[in-house]
Amino acid sequence: MIYRAALALTAAGTVLVAANWYAKPEAGLAWTAPLAMFAVMFAALRLSRRAVRSTADGTALRGLDWIATGVVFGALMMGIPLALTLARSYGVVDDPDLGRRSTGVLTGAFLVMLGNIMPKTLPSLSSMQCNGARQQAFQRFAGWTWVLCGLGSAIGWLALSIDSAEIATTVLVVAAMVVTIVQVLRLRRPRNPAPGLS
């Protein structure tokens, strides 16, 4: 299902690039960059699908879902601004910032999705380098951090002016990165066992 959605969005994006090129031929080579991106997405989908067919493994299938989800978000992030640019060139839309806003909101939604599943992707207890409880606590904390960062970012792009939204979302993302890195460093630091525990 998600694979088909990814293929459809890649095809739609390619059509949008072609339509934009037709509407604004003077931009010329600027349209080749999104076209190349959509070609890479399509190739990634097809190659991963071929690899999954040859292995028929559950983990590989999950991997294909992940790649397809990434392509869906990538295609939406590029496709929506392309659609809005096309609409502007035909005079349907007046707001010049709508494309940037929609990309910002989608990026926020992507961060929310990534953060949401972060605590679910725990490695097996036997393969862990550190205490299972600390690893679990770290992934839960990181998940919440990125969900809140994504939500704040999406709301910022919806509610603030373009300049303020850019500053606010940059500050949010940098803060989330710093918090996550500090937590990773704390996770790597060996902790002395509590007295009485062997």
Residue type, 132: G
Query: Shortest approach of another protein to residue 138 CB, angstroms?
Result: 13
Residue type, 134: R
Query: Shortest approach of another protein to residue 149 CB, angstroms?
Result: 12
C-alpha separations of 46 from 33, 40, 41, 126, 177 in Å: 20, 10, 9, 34, 33
- Residue whose token pair is 């604004």: 24
Whole-angstrom Cα distance, residue 84 to residue 92? 9
* Residue placing its CB nearer to another protein in the complex, 89 or 135: 135
Query: Shortest approach of another protein to residue 56 CB, angstroms?
Result: 23
* Residue placing its CB nearer to another protein in the complex, 52 or 112: 112
Query: Which residues are near another protein by CB under 8 A?
Result: 115-120, 122, 124-126, 132-133, 136, 140, 143-144, 147
* Residue placing its CB nearer to another protein in the complex, 120 or 189: 120
Query: Shortest approach of another protein to residue 120 CB, angstroms?
Result: 5
CA 96 and chain centroid, separation: 24
